[in-house]
Amino acid sequence: MGITTVDQIVTADGYASEPDGGLSFFDAFDQTGDRTDQGQLEWLQGVDAILLGRRTYEMFSSYWPTPAADGDAVAEWINAAPRHVVSATLDSAPWGDHAAAEVHGDGALAAVSALRERYDSVVVWGSLDLTDALFAAGEVDVLRLRTVPVVIGAGRSFVPSSLGRQRLALEGSTAQATGHVATSYRVLR
């Protein structure tokens, strides 16, 4: 039975998006020198597939399989990995010149259940409505936060407000040259 990791980029005050849904805080990374997140690249070597919600799929598919992503060290991995999208509205999920993502129209829990049978490790990026459903159902095994060095004062949390207390066990934390900190927690049941 595979594990599901929610991997979110968040602000130092714990927001995964700005109040209007924007993500401009992503630019708070150190803009000088090499911005390659070696820790992310190393971690991805143990991940077998990607699961996205529809809106995040649309955002990712408009960037990662395009020339704009050329030179980004993680683009090759993202474009080669099996990609899955939870959506009740999409019939197909093209990915540029690469294999299309597989669409799961039967909901988040059914998709995660099926993917746990197929893969040892699945990452969910962004997709806040999807991750809300997974947290509420107890289907998140690992929470991985990449905290950027900025506060924004208000926004959308990376967990549903109704979740209540959820205990976590620290697996590791590493400061990156880009100025952010990657922290991984195992979700305790």
Given this model, what pLDDT does residue 35 score?
A: 56
Given this model, what pLDDT does residue 4 score?
A: 98
**pLDDT range class, residue 31, cuts 50, 70, 90:** low
Percent of the chain with pLDDT over 90: 80
pLDDT reading at 28 higher than 90 = no
Given this model, what pLDDT does residue 46 score?
A: 96
Model confidence pTM above 0.85: yes
Given this model, what pLDDT does residue 44 score?
A: 94
Find the range with the poorest average confidence among 56-65, 68-77, 82-91, 152-161: 68-77
pLDDT reading at 39 higher than 90 = no
C-alpha to C-alpha distance for 12 and 180, rounded to whole angstroms: 9
Given this model, what pLDDT does residue 3 score?
A: 97
Closest CA to 72 of 34, 127, 46, 101: 34
- Average pLDDT of the residues in 85-107: 96
Q: Which position has the higher pLDDT, 94 or 160?
A: 94
pLDDT reading at 187 higher than 60 = yes
CA 77 to chain centre: 14
**pLDDT range class, residue 178, cuts 50, 70, 90:** confident
Burial zone of 36 (CB within 10 Å; 0-12 exposed, 13-18 middle, 19+ buried): middle
Burial zone of 8 (CB within 10 Å; 0-12 exposed, 13-18 middle, 19+ buried): buried
Helix axes 108-118, 128-136, angle to 10 degrees: 80
Question: CA distances (Å), 135 to each of 17, 38, 93, 95, 176, in order?
Answer: 17, 28, 25, 27, 27
Given this model, what pLDDT does residue 32 score?
A: 58
What average pLDDT does the chain have? 92
**pLDDT range class, residue 38, cuts 50, 70, 90:** confident
C-alpha to C-alpha distance for 137 and 86, rounded to whole angstroms: 16
